[in-house]
Amino acid sequence: MSLPQRLVILGSTGSIGTSTLDVVARHPHRFAVHALTANRNVDKLFRQCQAFRPALAIMGEAQAAAQLHARLRAAKLRTQVSSGVDALCEAARSGECDTVVAAIVGAAGLLPTFTAAQAGKKILLANKEALVMSGALFMRAVRTSAAVLLPVDSEHNAIFQCLPRASGSNLGVERLILTASGGPFRTRPVATLDDVTPDQACAHPNWAMGRKISVDAATMINKGLEVIEAHWLFDMPAERIDVLIHPQSIIHSMVVYSDQSVLAQLGNPDMRTPIAHALAYPERIASGVTPLNLAQIATLTFELPDMARFPCLHLACEVIRDGGGASVILNAANEVAVEAFLAGRIRFTAIERVIGETLQRVPVVEAQCIEDVLEMDRRARVLAHEAIRR
């Protein structure tokens, strides 16, 4: 029997991290957990360490790491504890790691995910913001190091499964169709969007996700980020990537071939399917997901997105047309605006204004290295905070 695949799960306490560990627990001989990481949730990381016995646990800050260390020692667990982004990068490039699950949310995941790409690891990519920020540099690092990049984002995982030999080759591919649920506000009167609360924005009709991506789904900027993600992952011009609203979230995306064959991947909306696919690729393993019952679902519907209802999606589409560096600014401004909305400091409808103003004020630089990306991200955050204060 082959040796277990050794995993570093970046962001193990989040929605994707938890789903990953759920799949891993079903296959104890296939996977060994080398490292688990969390930003602040000591309780949850402690419980995960009890269950999965990793060699290493990493927290966002030293104080949280000290708390975790004390609890692990009291429980007589030998897991080593460290903290900070350097420790995350070290784990991502470690010789003890075969596969990095990139499931930190937002720009915070960029450096460790990029490090895994440089180190030639197998990368299960959930952290789309990393690729949105650094697309060209990231894909170059993957090619240079011969890393294996497998998409976990359900749409991209679906497309990967529908591509020729799932190899990333675009032979005969005419278009990609990214499906989108339309989020919780697809049919709500636009005039009432001013007053929606963070909890309403996070109440996604089909998927249970972290709060940041849930707000992104409600504004539909998530789909704009995903078009950029698909552009880099599949080397496909953005003009050949369509967005189609499909409220049932059963078809996770499609590939249109030049003979007009359209291949789709279907399944219940549960991230354990793309996670299990990527973990075991090219094999198939049980995921714990409920079998799809199409007779019971009966109806699948489709519609085009209304750009007046979803101005953030419109902004993202413009950024895609401008290409390259502007997506760093879009992403940074969105992260700052979503955080402010979740904290009750701005209205839902102000997210778009913060992004729009920041895009106008930060000069776009074509990044030559990852430091250029981080610098543009930092500048955009400063101006997004200013836009919020105004």
Looking at the Cβ atoms of 217 and 346, the one nearer to Mg ion is 217
Q: Which does 210 bind (CB under 5 to 8 A by kind): Mg ion, ligand NAD, none?
A: ligand NAD
CB of 123 to ligand NAD, least distance (A): 13
C-alpha to C-alpha distance for 22 and 52, rounded to whole angstroms: 11
Looking at the Cβ atoms of 181 and 358, the one nearer to ligand NAD is 181
Cα 65 versus chain centre, distance = 25
Q: What strand order describes the sheet that includes 251-257?
A: 241-245, 173-180, 251-257, 262-266
CB of 348 to ligand NAD, least distance (A): 18
Give the residue at shortest CB distance from ligand NAD.
14
Kindly tell me the burial class for residue 293, based on how many C-beta atoms sit within 10 Å of its own C-beta (0-12, 13-18, 19 or more).
Answer: exposed
* DSSP one-letter code for 345: S
Question: What is the H or E stretch that residue 67 is in?
Answer: helix 62-74
Looking at the Cβ atoms of 69 and 128, the one nearer to Mg ion is 128
98 is a contact residue toward Mg ion (CB under 5 A): no
Kindly tell me the burial class for residue 380, based on how many C-beta atoms sit within 10 Å of its own C-beta (0-12, 13-18, 19 or more).
Answer: buried
Phi, psi for residue 241 in degrees, rounded to 5: -120, 120
Token readout for 230 is 């698909």
Among 98, 129, 153, 229, binds Mg ion (CB under 5 A): 153
Token readout for 205 is 């009709």
Q: Contact region for Mg ion (CB under 5 A) — 72-80, 155-163, 252-260, 280-288?
A: 155-163
Q: Contact region for Mg ion (CB under 5 A) — 152-160, 181-189, 277-285, 311-319?
A: 152-160
Give the N- to C-terminal CA distance of the chain in Å, as an integer: 62
Q: Which residues lie below 8 Å from residue 298, measured CB to CB, with a gap of 6+?
A: none
Q: Which does 163 bind (CB under 5 to 8 A by kind): ligand NAD, Mg ion, none?
A: none
Looking at the Cβ atoms of 155 and 357, the one nearer to Mg ion is 155
Token readout for 161 is 């499964």
Q: Which does 209 bind (CB under 5 to 8 A by kind): Mg ion, ligand NAD, none?
A: ligand NAD
CB of 371 to ligand NAD, least distance (A): 19
CB of 260 to ligand NAD, least distance (A): 29
Binding-site ranges for ligand NAD (CB under 6 A): 11-17, 38-39, 41, 60, 103-105, 108, 126-129, 153, 207, 209-210, 212-213, 271
Q: Contact region for Mg ion (CB under 5 A) — 11-19, 27-35, 154-162, 346-354?
A: 154-162
What proportions of the chain, in percent to the nearest 5, are helix, strand and coil?
50, 15, 35
Smallest CA-to-CA distance from 198 within 215, 181, 219 is with: 215
Q: Per-residue x/- marks for Mg ion, 337-376, CB under 5 A?
A: ----------------------------------------
- Per CB under 5 A, residues contacting Mg ion are 153-155
